Amino acid sequence: MLIPVILSGGAGTRLWPVSREGHPKPFMMLPDGESLLGKTYRRAAGLLDGRGDIVTVTNRDYYFQSKDHYQGAHLARHRGHFLLEPTGRNTAPAIAAAALSLQALHGDEAIMVVMPADHLILDEAALKKAVEHAVALARDGFLVTFGVVPTAPETGFGYIEAGAALDGKGAARVQRFVEKPDLQTATHYLESGNFLWNSGMFCFSVTALLSELQIHAPDLLAQTQACMAASVPVETSGCLQQELSPALFAEITDISIDYAVMERSDKVVVVPAGFDWSDIGSWNAVAALVPADAQNNRSSGDATFIDSHNNFVQSEDRLVATVGVDNLIIIDTADAVLVAHAERAQDVRRVAKQLKDKQHEAYRLHRTVSRPWGTYTVLEEGPRFKIKRIVVKPGAKLSLQMHHHRNEHWVVVEGMAKVTNNATGTHLVAKNESTFIAAGHKHRLENPGVIDLVIIEVQSGEYLGEDDIVRFEDQYGRTV
């Protein structure tokens, strides 16, 4: 049995301001309108014949967003199995947890194909062929990694040196893994013809991986086993949800699967990837997905170029115009604009780091924030007031909650709202009608209809922070 395992947790700081802590790289929409996570899920489904489970290891905070992106892929025939991490602990704990869960559900001989959620592969037929090759090797007890034939002396990737040939299809023993090289070393690797880019994709049987973990990382395996024993899977809403114990997960060694096993085991082999591959690791990689004009300018969104060359512009809602500039990356979002030289695209991560160090809100959240029930967008704010546009999905409802410091005025602009207020009871509020929630009152907003509920919320009070909330009931498990 083949089971895809998607690792979804990369921060993607080189893709700020679109990728942020609360909306990381896998949720980014590419120029074709589909997210990286959605594309990965579709690729995973393409590896399965008929029905089957698809495992996703992700942070608990990203569970509902992930489900939304999967539903957008329209692949309901596959059961989603979510392993929900309380915090990030690197790839070895994530993959070990997935292996133990699959062992309990499907037995020792289940074959895992592990794929990051934030990579792009367009040739799905070539991917399937490479995976079939890897599965055959995995059944023989090998730990298989996929190596991408390099096309340039790339310094942003790790490399794999291929050793002795294993079969007539290109598979080889792994001689060694090497870290991201400098330009001179990368050029040597390219010229030698014996090095491959490390894709971060793997294929192995559950029993082979766990056996190698027992040999090379026994403490990590024991820690993960203890965590999984305390983390019972629950069937809910057509998927399997397994929330990992926060206390026990925090005790697992923070280490990558490469360091824990792949660089130590003598059972590791590499299969050359016959498919195109990009880790979408910078804005230059995103720009390459967009057709260029005669001056090699590229744009996603509304842009005008005058006497400009070799630029990339991505704009969400506004026109961006350039005059007499070359080799720029310009990314315009609702609350932040990035302007960078194309040759410094890798340094965008330094902006994200500085914002994080300053605890700037633009590192964490967008102006529009996803929630399990829908989204909210901050339209305007100032001293003692904040205005939001709130969208509640059909059938969804916010928690029964209370705020100590703020009053809220709600005006329904689309749909029908069901409002609970301990001062006035439960009642319906129709389009163009409004209601008032005073500070200190328990209240809840619900969408009983079949179309999105859209309201404008005007907050007023001495403190308007998102942490001024006490939840009494919540169908998404967010009460404390």
407: how many CB neighbours lie within 10 A of its CB?
15
CATH architecture of 368-473: Sandwich (2.60)
pLDDT value for 49: 80
Amino acid making up residue 272 = P
Rounded Cα–Cα distance for residues 428 and 415 (Å): 11
Mean pLDDT of all residues in 449-472: 95
The answer on pLDDT for 210 being more than 60 is yes
Instruction: Quick: pLDDT tens for 333-369.
Output: 999 999 999 999 999 999 999 999 999 989 998 999 9
**Cα(350)–Cα(347) distance, integer angstroms:** 5
Q: pLDDT band at residue 39, thresholds of 50, 70 and 90?
A: very high
Query: Do 368-473 and 2-278 have the same topology in CATH?
Result: no
Query: Which residue do the tokens 């319906």 mark?
Result: 428
Residue 74 has pLDDT above 80, yes or no: no
Tokens representing residue 157 in the block: 């990737």
Mean pLDDT of 363-384: 92
**Helix locations, 193-322, DSSP H:** 206-216, 218-229, 246-249, 257, 283-287
What residue spans define the domains of the chain? 2-278, 283-352, 368-473
- Which of 64-68, 274-278, 407-411 has the highest mean predicted lDDT (pLDDT)? 407-411
Residue 479 has pLDDT above 80, yes or no: no
Say whether the peptide bond before residue 394 is cis (omega within 30 degrees of 0).
no
pLDDT at 132 > cutoff 90: yes
Q: What is the average pLDDT across 431-443?
A: 96
Q: Which residue has the tokens 């007890």?
A: 141
What pLDDT does residue 155 have? 86
Please report, rounded to a whole number, the percentage of residues in the chain having pLDDT higher than 70. 98
pLDDT score, position 93: 97
Can you tell me the mean pLDDT for 165-181? Answer: 91
Distances in whole angstroms, Cα of residue 205 to Cα of each of 123, 328, 352, 442, 447? 25, 46, 38, 52, 45
- The confidence band for 480, taking pLDDT boundaries of 50, 70 and 90, is low
What average pLDDT does the segment 80-106 reach? 94
pLDDT(238) > 80: no
Q: Which residues of 234-243 are buried (b: 16+ CB within 10 A; e: fewer)?
A: eeeeebbbbb
- Token pair 């609350």 is found at 335
The contacts of residue 211 (CB under 8 Å, 6+ apart) are none
Average of pLDDT values for 17-36? 93
Residue 219's closest CA among 254, 253, 247?
253
The architecture (CATH level 2) of 2-278 comes to Alpha-Beta Complex (3.90)
HEC string of 25-49? HHHCECCCCCEHHHHHHHHHHHCCC
Q: What is the pTM of this model?
A: 0.88
